[in-house]
Structure 1
């Protein structure tokens, strides 16, 4: 993602985008707030970046807060973190240069986290940025966090053996999508990538070949989590990250349970966002979405202070929506998270086949399979409605349930045999089964191949993966078309592994359009992204847009402070507490 919305030389920006049209109230069940406005500003007052975070009303210290999730978190190593679960778990034990103050209602303020402010645009040209590091920020062992440890964290993100995380900063410093070939981390472990320097222990400096006005946003991602070189265990850092946040890894039984205890060396006076209310956070992996939600609904024992990470599944939507006693224990929120049936265009090269897939898809049936309007709303565009520049269109109008006849017409008697790679978690298995049945009515022959859920993200990011189709999900890191279309469809970024362009789509004319739009004034980009969105779908059809997520979460009666992240659309735990 390459968001380009930071415009003013002072570093202050304001974004406004509607989050409407997520779902409609079609029955007497709960209603999503369709009139919500999502706003984002970069803080200009240094006081906004100071701690402590405002106290949460009614919150007290103590207790164990539990999160029950079906499958393990793919990566805990901050530099490798890019899954939703990872992005929500990481802030408990990792801090970044900047972070978001989020009111849970769409209101966002970007503030300094490890940095005193969201950054200084030194020459007012967005090519040179400096961040001053706060006093009093420490690792779990009590040692000070300086610019050098933050720089080392960024440097190790260049290691090709540690793929999976965001790549903005690496690409910008290298001035190339092939960043790991421009600077070799293994040969330069005591050095830093070109353009990254630490003039002193308090200062981190970035120098870019091109303007990067959105750097304050990019450094809010886990790439900038600090690490002491002597604590770098390489791929094993996934098992036990070294904490800079309010909690630290106390015990990690991989694939079973992750226990986080308080970090006594975290200073709330330095942190504008996080709290340290629970004694422990415990992530438990294994129970299906049905089992986890039923446990939390039952509200017994330790589950009273638990949250079911997996959204309320289809089998339980009616039960949860119809129980008035559960209303105070559910969260229903729109999200900026879009889902697609991603087409591997290296393997599915016939445009008519890709267009036929778009005509054949039964969005209504798919949404009913996963739970209905409290779970998802249909999408026919590449960008979700919660995006600056969003343009509503339907390149392949087939109605809510698809146009099988039109799909067959495009196939012209062909029976394409396609392999659908699907995560082995229960929800995606249900989706894959529905999609297979749906597409085979149009003449496709679909074979489902299972992928372990905790490995899927890494596997589909491999250029030579063996699947023709897979279910993809994308939530922009900021509400801009620039953080969606270039990162997902710029073919120049394709490499052997770690690809966000998972359709492996590469068209020189579209790549040129990315450059053209990104060179425009940020205020002028929005409509151009909308036009390009429609052009990509009409001319190339690299995916089948499916739906936008609606978050429907249930928690125990003693679980407090949880809200749905306005950035990523999943539960945030920075305010979580156990009601006493």
Structure 2
């Protein structure tokens, strides 16, 4: 199976003095106006960074921030994730497994339609998953469905997902935004949509205009959504303060208080399970020695990372992902221990310290800064870090998943779905090259059990293996912090890690200004 690329370019931040000047120039003569109660009509202008010539409206290959935003608004999956990162129905009325989780039966909601007025049928669902799992052209979500044998329509609104092996996590897999439902005659160049909006216009790297899907099963308030691309955070924040846009996705965390001081602005600060790990390839020296990996974890001052990298907008990590998972473990909190790190390095054959190259890029807010702080902290243990900074396109290019020591970012996911994405041999993003037979055996047992409570012990066994020997350094979980004009309503805290309430613009309105 081919591995899909994954990249995201984000701009650099403004200085505090620069933004203070912009705020003073833009805000003095304008009084803040609250959104009030929901009203119908209006256009929402959203500023984002990271667009490029490869931008897409294809339902199944979103890459950067803008792609994900378009995907969430143009297409619905059978299930989705709510603001608390819980799986909830979207196009499906129900989705249930048989006793051994080898057959999942789905029933569509009554009357769901595409944006051209046609009914969404089981045949469309069948086509959508065949497109995602096409062995000659696998899409982003393909790794979630390696056990999917076939989708068999069984009625006007019903179908069976027949699996080659048990999978108790299948309802989580179909909830990913990368598993949107499209019609059987789908043309990504002229898309017919299943989400709350349809496409009005699209110019890669510049702008996208969405308009309501009048056949969507739920209400929306806006007449239009404009997604406007900006080259960097400097231009993005300038556009917000000068009222060229109504909301922006992601702000430099060091500038939150300064932006909030403008009476016209509101800050949306959401705690999430989003993480910015350091990735050590367990199959390459020096990280093929577990003692080296353990030493690198012990040099990190996690509280200092949260303060210096995230300006306090985050929570401390413990080398384990999925903090919102029902079965998140209560392992002893790993703390900085320079003496023990030195001892482990000496036992691994590095009594005089070690030289490593850390590849970083502005792939997410805080990534480059965390690399710099890590290098300073690691030096105390004799770990001499040479930082190699590349641009985001290079980072997520041909060498992505091949770096010996690098970084990445992940939005909120439960533990088991995250393992599927990054910690087993067929994972599309196995950046640490973790492939342990004992781990895989336990994981196969756990994946077959639908109930989180019943698989708790197995999950803890898997988590303990990764906590003790894995290739991730998970130092913290970053808040998602966005900014918007106070006349924008409907934006709420959202734990998915996706900006602006998870990109759910169907519930946003513009107050009467």
**Which range, TM-score by smaller chain?**
0.7 to 0.9
1:81 and 1:376 mapped to 2: Cα distance? 26
Give yes or no for the alignment of 1:382 onto 2:320.
yes
Give yes or no for the alignment of 1:448 onto 2:388.
yes
Shift, 1:436, TM fit: 4.1
* Aligned pairs, number: 467
1:136 and 1:423 mapped to 2: Cα distance? 44
Shift, 1:483, TM fit: 2.7
Give yes or no for the alignment of 1:284 onto 2:213.
no
2:282 and 2:168 mapped to 1: Cα distance? 32
Shift, 1:228, TM fit: 3.4
Aligned to 2:22: none
Aligned to 1:368: 307
Shift, 1:157, TM fit: 0.9
2:368 and 2:492 mapped to 1: Cα distance? 28
2:194 and 2:132 mapped to 1: Cα distance? 17
1:447 and 1:217 mapped to 2: Cα distance? 37
Normalization by structure 1: what TM-score? Answer: 0.71
Shift, 1:571, TM fit: 2.4
The answer to whether the 8 Å contact 1:367/1:376 transfers is yes
Give yes or no for the alignment of 1:138 onto 2:113.
yes
2:409 and 2:499 mapped to 1: Cα distance? 13
What secondary structure, in the 3-state scheme, does the structure 1 residue paired with 2:258 have? Answer: helix
Aligned to 2:40: 61
Aligned to 1:309: 249
Shift, 1:357, TM fit: 2.0
Shift, 1:549, TM fit: 1.5
Give yes or no for the alignment of 1:532 onto 2:462.
yes
Residues 402 and 485 (structure 1), Cα distance of their counterparts in 2 relative to 1, 3 Å cut: farther
Aligned to 2:406: 470
| 1:93-108 matched pairs, under 5 angstroms | 93-100=74-81, 102=82, 104=83, 106=84, 108=86
Unaligned runs of 5+ in 2: 1-34
**What is the aligned counterpart of 1:515 among 435, 441, 444?**
444
Give yes or no for the alignment of 1:208 onto 2:185.
no
The answer to whether the 8 Å contact 1:80/1:163 transfers is no
Residues 351 and 215 (structure 1), Cα distance of their counterparts in 2 relative to 1, 3 Å cut: closer
Aligned to 1:577: 509
Aligned to 1:11: none
1:376 and 1:136 mapped to 2: Cα distance? 42
Aligned to 2:7: none
Shift, 1:511, TM fit: 1.5
1:278 and 1:227 mapped to 2: Cα distance? 23
Aligned to 1:243: 193
Normalization by structure 2: what TM-score? Answer: 0.79
Give yes or no for the alignment of 1:171 onto 2:107.
no
Shift, 1:257, TM fit: 1.8
Per-residue CA deviation, residues 92-131 of structure 1 (Å, 9 max, x unaligned), is 110222234x3x4x385622x323x12244x544322332
Aligned to 1:257: 207
1:208 and 1:384 mapped to 2: Cα distance? 26
Unaligned runs of 5+ in 1: 1-55, 174-193
Q: Considering only aligned residues, what root-mean-square deviation do their CA atoms show, in Å?
A: 3.4
Shift, 1:154, TM fit: 0.8
1:84 and 1:362 mapped to 2: Cα distance? 30
**What is the aligned counterpart of 2:292 among 342, 353, 370?**
353
Residues 132 and 353 (structure 1), Cα distance of their counterparts in 2 relative to 1, 3 Å cut: same
What secondary structure, in the 3-state scheme, does the structure 2 residue paired with 1:78 have? Answer: coil
Aligned to 1:32: none
Residues 336 and 124 (structure 1), Cα distance of their counterparts in 2 relative to 1, 3 Å cut: same
Residues 516 and 221 (structure 1), Cα distance of their counterparts in 2 relative to 1, 3 Å cut: closer
What secondary structure, in the 3-state scheme, does the structure 2 residue paired with 1:213 have? Answer: coil
